[in-house]
Amino acid sequence: MSDTAVAPPKAKQNFRGNGGVRGWFGRQPTWVRAIVTLVALGLAILLPYAGDVPLIGPQIVTQGIDWPSSLFNMSYYVLLALGLNVVVGYAGLLDLGYVGFFAIGAYGTALLTSRDSLLYAHSGWSWLAAAPVALAITMAAGLILGWPTLRLRGDYLAIVTLGFAEIIRIVATSTPNFLRGDRGFTNIPHPPGQGADGKPIFGVTDATPYFWLGLAVIVVVILGVRNLDRSRVGRSWLAIREDEEAAEIMGVRTTRFKLWAFAIGAFIGGLGGVLFAGEQGFINSQTFVLQFSILVLAGVVMGGSGNMAGAILGGALISYIPDRLRGISDPFFHTDLYEYRFAIFGVVIIVIMVLRPQGLIPSRRRAMELKDREKEVAPL
């Protein structure tokens, strides 16, 4: 009798503790959550001017790369993390080749807009006109990858997706005329728009407009994915992630919803590629290497798989940490710490995984699962 009287309060306490900031946020009235969200969005819009803040600003802005460019890098990394979180975090499909969708979005834009493209004489489109076509091609690639791999799980699925990304990179390298290999595509147009003075809004000297564009796209993606997560699609993804066989027995059309996950994840990854090509104005096959996929996956896991806030934080960190190391000299060997970025980032991931295996901002369900497992393996 004493056990039954004590156990429920203990479980309730654990649940609140795992909620953290998210638990506090979810308990607030709608108007409080709206105000907090608008304040956070306003602060994000003002991030390009963070360097002007006394004391704090100089400590957070990057040195080896200008701050607005670093923010734009964070924006497309966050997009990639959000897209991969749909595939890995929601649907439970381990994808190691996510950079392939990023590459397809960028190459689709370049093929339709760059003067170096063999298709330019027949298309010669603007960036804005090419973006929907590039995204449609990327979604089709997601379906093409997803259909043959429907029966694969775990490590086998990871190997197939890894091969998919490598095939895209090798094809891009081995076709010097169509995809131009290492020479790449130049003169990719920027997004359209002119200021009051007649100068282009999206130029080459200031990356702030690109960051604001990326931020707007992130907000739209968050709203779309959030609605999907709370719909029948999101519940089906959850069932597939927990137990695919049980979900199929219970009537969940696993084939359809796994393809949904691949297509939506591909679409968001393609968005990142379209933005990247429009800002850089140049891409080649060496831009889309395997470590890119591994880095984004590490960001999702580090931030909190299955949670959008965690994916956003993880995506921002995997971009910010290397950029912040640029221009900082090693006090012992007097070399740029950027050269050790992967070693430093690896140490950070190991520390986080040891101290907080559920991620920095975990999904509530994932945190509870890990708590239960800790109880199972705890010594009696």
**216 or 27: which leads in pLDDT:** 216
Q: What is the pLDDT of residue 16?
A: 41
- 3-state SS, 329-371, equals ECCCCCCEHHHHHHHHHHHHHHHHHHHCCCCCCCCHHHHHHHH
For the chain, state the CA radius of gyration: 22
Q: State residue 20's pLDDT score.
A: 53
pLDDT digits (tens, 9 = 90+) for 249-271: 888 888 889 899 999 999 999 99
Provide the pLDDT for residue 11.
41
**Of the candidates 352, 354, 322, which has an alpha carbon nearest to the alpha carbon of residue 337?**
322
- What pLDDT is attached to residue 25? 63
This prediction has a pTM of: 0.86
**Tens digit of each residue's pLDDT (9 = 90 or more) over 174-228:** 988 889 888 899 989 999 988 888 788 998 888 999 999 999 999 999 999 999 9
CB 219 within 8 A of CB 211: no
